[in-house]
Amino acid sequence: MGIYIIMTKKRNHADHNEKACKYLYKAGDFSDWVITTAFYSVIHYVDSCLFPDSYELPDGKIKNCISIDDYYRKCYQNDSKHEIRRQLVEDRLPEIQIQFKWLKEQSSQLRYTDYNTTSDEADKAIENLDKIKAFHNENHK
């Protein structure tokens, strides 16, 4: 599968998840799922910012990686892909690291610990999603 097709699929997946997120947001219920779908949207925007690219692997070699899955296979099979992605965002996309980290942490908390949250938190999730999408659109057309 060509790089253009992979990136188009990532963008389409991000847009699909964003549409679900904004549908839930407009409905006014399920703030926890607004945050979760915002996170699952931004991971695709972030992935298309991070890949394809060249990365220094733990063995010191520079390799081209076409996706998070490719990077994961070549590099870090001990951490989760979500954690690897968070580290890559911190290292390579510092402009959006705060928003990404917040969405990642909130989504995990809401999915696995306690689903109760507020509409203010849903507002923040939408703001973070919009900022990450704008960053993507400005830097990775």
Amino acid at position 122, single letter? A
- The pLDDT assigned to 9 comes to 83
Domains defined along the chain, listed by start: 3-139 (1.20.120.330)
Spatial separation of the C-alpha atoms in residues 30 and 7, rounded to whole Å: 30
Structure tokens at 30: 């399920």
Place of tokens 């799922």: 33
Query: Are the CB atoms for 133 and 62 separated by under 8 Å?
Result: no
How many residues in total does the chain contain? 141
Task: Encode the chain (141 residues) as per-residue pLDDT tens digits.
Answer: 566 666 778 888 999 999 999 999 999 989 999 999 999 999 999 999 999 999 988 788 899 999 999 998 887 667 788 888 999 999 999 999 999 999 999 999 988 888 889 899 999 999 999 999 999 999 875
Instruction: State the pTM of this model.
Output: 0.89
- The pLDDT assigned to 141 comes to 58
- The pLDDT assigned to 29 comes to 87
- The pLDDT assigned to 117 comes to 92
- The pLDDT assigned to 76 comes to 67
- The pLDDT assigned to 98 comes to 97
Spatial separation of the C-alpha atoms in residues 66 and 101, rounded to whole Å: 23
